[in-house]
Structure 1
Amino acid sequence: MIERDELGAAARGLRQYLLAVAAKLDVPAWFCEVAVPAGGYLALDRRLDRFPDHEAALLWDERDGWSAAVESATGDEVIALAYLGEDVLPSPDQVVAFVKELYGEGYPGRPDPPGFRTPGAPDGFDERLAAYAADPVGQA
């Protein structure tokens, strides 16, 4: 298992992966947590028509992958609306397509968390993340 400390390849890969998605979406802010369970937050620059009074965001975690969310009325919580549900680490282009559908007329993804993996499990996930550290744009 690859260490996920500040210098580990998996931690660098996660940052590169989230940064690649953030760059494609031109998000105003993003956050990454590399400790188990790893996660990320990308603020979206537009609100959803269905929730005009709430900030929209993309969430990522190592169990369920990407989800679209809105902040609660108090801003203390985020509420997942839909999960992309294809893979825990889909390509940045797949995430962009999910966001485009989110702002469209339909309801993309799935309503329930997919539960792809158990955080911290020795299942090749850290190696997949580490690959993004070596080649962030070449990953699929």
Structure 2
Amino acid sequence: MEHPEPDTRTLERRLGEYVRAVAVAVGVPAESVTVEISDTATAYLGLPRRWPDRPGQDIMLVWSERRGWSLAVETDPAEDPVVIARQGGGDLVPAPRAVAQFVTDTAAGRRPGQERLRPAATTRRVLAERLSPYVHHPR
């Protein structure tokens, strides 16, 4: 018998804990982090630094259950963000330190293999299971 999909609260809590761990690794304050579960699970981290080749624009680290992690330039709210780089490797839930290394490497102009492997499609049940190690305190 297959386990049912997790409820929205469970997925949001687990994704929130994972994204907070990524924020700590990247050096993003908690008030710059947002997680949303709707038709697509997404996360946003406003980076506290400027990008070398885009000094006048804010940069964000975004995650989606369909694409994984991306660095993008913030644009007008009515427009899609301009993606600078996507983290490759095929893992939707890479370790926070791997995400931090992706940010560091991209800022330094090193972008090896970012588009080689896109994350594999997964169910929300599998995603919730992958995120469960990041939940430290039951609520």
TM-score of the two chains, using structure 2 as the length reference: 0.80
Deviations along 1:10-54, whole A, 9 cap, x unmatched? 322111000001112221401001234101000001111111121
1:22 matched to 2:26? The reply is: no
Runs of 5+ consecutive residues of structure 1 not aligned to the other structure: 136-140
Is the 1:64–1:114 contact (alpha carbons within 8 Å) kept by the matching residues of 2? yes
1:36/1:54 CA distance change after superposition, 3 Å: same
SS at match of 1:54: strand
Distance 2:115 2:88 in 1: 9
Deviation at 1:55, TM superposition (A): 0.5
Residue from 81, 84, 92 that aligns with 2:84: 81
Between structures 1 and 2, the one with greater helix share: 2
- Quick check: 1:58–1:66 contact (8 Å CA) kept in 2? yes
2:127 maps to amino acid: F
Conservation of the 8 A alpha-carbon contact between 1:82 and 1:112:
no
SS at 2:70 equivalent = strand
Does the 8 Å CA contact 2:6/2:125 hold for their aligned counterparts? no
Of 114, 124, 138, the residue aligned with 2:118 is: 114
Q: Secondary structure at the match of 1:57?
A: strand
CA contact 1:4–1:35 (8 Å) conserved in 2: no
Q: How many residues align?
A: 130
Say which SS state the counterpart of residue 88 (structure 1) adopts. coil
Unmatched 5+ stretches in structure 2: none
Say which SS state the counterpart of residue 22 (structure 2) adopts: helix
Identify which of 127, 130, 139 aligns with 1:128: 130
After TM superposition, where is structure 1 displaced by more than 3 Å over at least 4 residues in a row?
74-77
- Report the TM-score when normalising by structure 1: 0.79
Partner of 1:138: none
Displacement after TM superposition at 1:3 (Å): 2.2
Q: How does 1:85-100 map to 2 (within 5 A)?
A: 85-86=88-89, 87-100=91-104
**Residue 71, structure 1, aligned to residue 59, structure 2:** no
Q: Give yes or no for contact 2:87–2:115 (8 Å, CA) kept in 1.
A: no
Residues 11 and 129 in structure 1, CA contact (< 8 A), matched pair in contact too? no
In the TM superposition, residue 113 of structure 1 has moved relative to its aligned partner by: 8.2
- Name the aligned partner's letter for residue 126 of structure 1: A
Instruction: For residue 133 of structure 1, report the CA deviation from its aligned partner.
Output: 1.8
Q: Give the strand-richer structure, 1 or 2.
A: 2
User: Identity over aligned residues, as a percent?
Assistant: 32
